[in-house]
Amino acid sequence: MENKLLNATLNIVRQHGDSLFLDVSRPYAYTMLIDYDRRKILLKVVTDADDMPTSALRDIKLLSEFLSIPVLGIVAMARGEVLEEGVVYKRDNVNFISLATLARAFRGELPVFVQIKGRRYAFVDGQRLREAREREGLSLGAVSEMLSVSRETVYRYEREELNLSEAAARALARRFGPDVLKRIDIFSSIKADPIDKASRAIDAKTYRLELSHPNGIAYEDRPLFILKDEDKREKTEELAGHLGVEVVRG
């Protein structure tokens, strides 16, 4: 299944952008580097999001933060079940989406649902919800009855203090239109958390990479790739060239 998913991903990428770098010779933390809308994006193609090891997740979070580029997992499943179109599955703050969701995002249709483990929810645009409700002359109580929640809950939705359950999000979108739901920006970089950094720190500004072509990444005024394994030099320099990163010996 993974080979089919990889080939299908390449087809979609080439319809909307360019595949700059690809290496499937080893189970690296990423599969390819692409260019979409003048942005570099690292993609990891894997059948199930939960099959990706923690060490790979840490690598791509460090790369995303210090290179200031998005990283995305392209998957068929999450937790052993098919990942639905329009849903972003989050694992350790890394976004995983289906190929269909990626294709829609390339066309400008960003997803609205987030799934963490078994829970799925959406983010409400409080101002648009309030404007839509008032435009139709509906009270907070009327909307609360429609959603089977309290009036206070609807009030907090409009203040963006609460996220929406999937059922509430779909009900609001049917009643007021999809613009009352916020789109999820999957094309933004993510940050490594303190545990990721502590577990990989070589010094205050240098971090070890375990499943990447470079053996480490450093950041002062600009990112640097650290290389120790000479057998990975060619691919490391190829990747670095696309990213505008200097490679230095570790």
What per-residue confidence (pLDDT) applies to 170? 97
* pLDDT tens sequence across 216-249: 999 989 999 999 999 999 999 999 999 999 999 9
56 in Cβ contact with 44 (< 8 Å) = yes
| Cα–Cα distance, 92 to 116 (Å, whole number) | 9
% of the chain with per-residue pLDDT over 70: 100
Interval 12-36 mean pLDDT:
97
> pTM for this one?
0.94
What per-residue confidence (pLDDT) applies to 78? 96
What per-residue confidence (pLDDT) applies to 125? 98
What per-residue confidence (pLDDT) applies to 250? 80
**Which amino acid belongs to residue 57?**
L
| Cα–Cα distance, 67 to 150 (Å, whole number) | 45
Non-local (6+) Cβ contacts of 230 within 8 A are none
Whether the predicted pLDDT of 38 surpasses 90:
yes
Average pLDDT, the chain: 96
Domain 126-180 has CATH 1.10.260.40: yes
| Cα–Cα distance, 200 to 220 (Å, whole number) | 17
* pLDDT tens sequence across 170-193: 999 999 999 999 999 999 999 999
| E-only strand ranges, 60-107 | 71-74, 77-78, 81-82, 87-91, 94-97
Intervals of CATH 1.10.260.40 along the chain? 126-180
Interval 6-26 mean pLDDT:
97
Whether the predicted pLDDT of 1 surpasses 80:
no
Interval 77-88 mean pLDDT:
96
The pair of structure tokens assigned to 113 is 């649902």
Q: How confident is the model at residue 2 (pLDDT cuts 50, 70, 90)?
A: confident
